[in-house]
Structure 1
Amino acid sequence: MKTKHIKTTARKLQYLLVFCLLISLEGFAQCAGGSYGTKPPPGAVRASVMASMNFDNSLNSVIVRNQSVVYGPNTMGTPYMQQSFATAKIVQVDKVYLVRYNALTDEMEVKGGESDEMLIISKKKNYEINQHSNNVTYRVLEKVDSEKENDLGYYINLEDDDNISLYKKECKKLVSKDKSTYGNSASSITMEFKDMKCEFYMEMEHDGLAIKIPRKKKEFLALFPDKAELISAFIKDNRIKLHKEKSLKKLIQYMNTI
């Protein structure tokens, strides 16, 4: 009887902890939705907590990591584009999870059932992850002309079209810092996360391949020899900059009409 009572009490405590976690995350999501982007759909946070806590391996293989393993006590900044976990729907499995993107390792992390546990989603070509809080869609593509074989990564979709789609790649790097640059008050800082310049890519006819967009006009036109004259005129008339997001959106939109 005593053992049964202990098990019942433990089960009640577990349900209470889950309930508290749900309440706190619902409040966070409402705040995040108002500050950073689209508010998560009703029930999305609750569904994501339960899906994450009962991770059923429907995302194929996963790697278990421990969040207590950090980059070092004297590191400044963060490897994440969005520090907190946020609700996101993984389209291919039709489930909502708590996720965040690590721009240093190019990995999508899923919140586990314990505070010090997280899961790394195994990359599969054309996997699509729709984040609610900042209204961003990540898609897994294979980089063309990469030194690595089967080089899969996460790319942010900017323009989606059956002909040409436009993507942005966000990256961070970890660099050593000269202690003297921070003065005596912060002389212990030795490493720092730095944002790298965004790179832009194209995908043709949703084939799952990411083609890096050259910054030089001549190299870009060489990718489209049959339409080079029309594209060249548009670039000149509209003062298109091949390294600017706004310009590239305008250019890709035009190219999808010719």
Structure 2
Amino acid sequence: MKTIHTKTTLKKLRYVLVFCLLLSLEGIAQCSGGSYGPPPPQGAIKLASKASMDFDNSLNAVIVRNQSNTYGPNTIGTPYMQKDFSTARIEQVNKVYLVRYNALTDEMEVKGGDDSEVLVISKQRNYEINQHANNLKYRVLEKIDSEKENDLGYYISIEDNDNISLYRKQCKKLVKKKQSSYGSSASSITTEFKDMRCEFYIEKAHNGHAIKVPKKKKEFLALFPDKAEQISVFIKKNRIKLNKEKSLKKLIKYINTI
């Protein structure tokens, strides 16, 4: 009788452990959205993993490359805005992938079938990538007045409108610092990833062209010659600052109404 009782107890204990494990897995899935936005849609992680495995078959415009770049043993920080891969839907292929944005190289990386393999999406005009973790929408636009020909890059959508859209551009740079050892002539080089000041861009009529927002009011008004007088009054009345996201968003919303 004692043996039967022991087996029954062990069986119940196994059920409890399995139940606890399921709860913990559910908690991980819910937290995978990060503190910057809502969790990914149900089943998104599984779909992303499967899509990444047959990535070449589902999206032709891809460069397969080993991204194990070494910046040196004394490098501080990361080139990524979000270090871990997170789920994102690429609208043009209507699939969910595991992605992360490299702000140093301006590239969107995708995890391949092999955990050590990273794929880099070839930039295509008007590509749209909706990242779940941060609730961010990236669009590929061509920068106007660039020294490069066909200068395509990723821009974060702030205000989306068929008339005038507003975007934020996030960048990082690698800074080298030379440190000398105290009391000796020996020195070591330390490199550090640093956030650069955000830049803001507008797009007219979803034409795929990114126009950098000028810092000077006169230059900004020149972008809207037919509405310059009204915009000038609005800027002065509302104390708009052309280098502040909140002010620019308010201004672009107004421009879209006149």
User: Normalising to structure 1: TM-score of the pair?
Assistant: 0.85
Amino acid at match of 1:246: K
Task: Look up the match of 1:247.
Answer: 247
Amino acid at match of 2:137: T
Q: CA RMSD in A?
A: 2.2
Native 8 Å contact 1:88 1:98 kept in 2:
yes
Give the superposition deviation at 1:61. Answer: 2.8
Whole-angstrom CA distance in 2 between matches of 1:102 and 1:218: 34
Task: Look up the match of 2:208.
Answer: 208
Task: Look up the match of 2:160.
Answer: 160
Task: Look up the match of 1:190.
Answer: 190
Render the CA deviation track for 1:169-216: whole Å, top value 9, x for unaligned. 00001111122599xxxx855111111000000000000000000000
User: Aligned residues, how many?
Assistant: 233
Task: Look up the match of 1:51.
Answer: 51
Q: Is 1:41 matched with 2:4?
A: no
Whole-angstrom CA distance in 2 between matches of 1:202 and 1:71: 34
Task: Look up the match of 1:117.
Answer: 117
Bigger fraction of residues in helix: 1
Q: Is 1:102 matched with 2:97?
A: no
User: Normalising to structure 2: TM-score of the pair?
Assistant: 0.85
Cα pair distance change 1:66/1:180, threshold 3 Å: same
Native 8 Å contact 2:64 2:118 kept in 1:
yes
Cα pair distance change 1:245/1:254, threshold 3 Å: same
Cα pair distance change 1:46/1:202, threshold 3 Å: same
Whole-angstrom CA distance in 2 between matches of 1:251 and 1:107: 30
Task: Look up the match of 1:60.
Answer: 60
Moved over 3 A (4+): 24-29
Give the superposition deviation at 1:27. Answer: 5.6
Task: Look up the match of 2:126.
Answer: 126
Render the CA deviation track for 1:122-177: whole Å, top value 9, x for unaligned. 10010000000110000000000111000000000000000000000000011111
SS at match of 1:233: helix
Whole-angstrom CA distance in 2 between matches of 1:49 and 1:60: 18
Q: Which runs of 5+ in 2 are unaligned?
A: 1-23
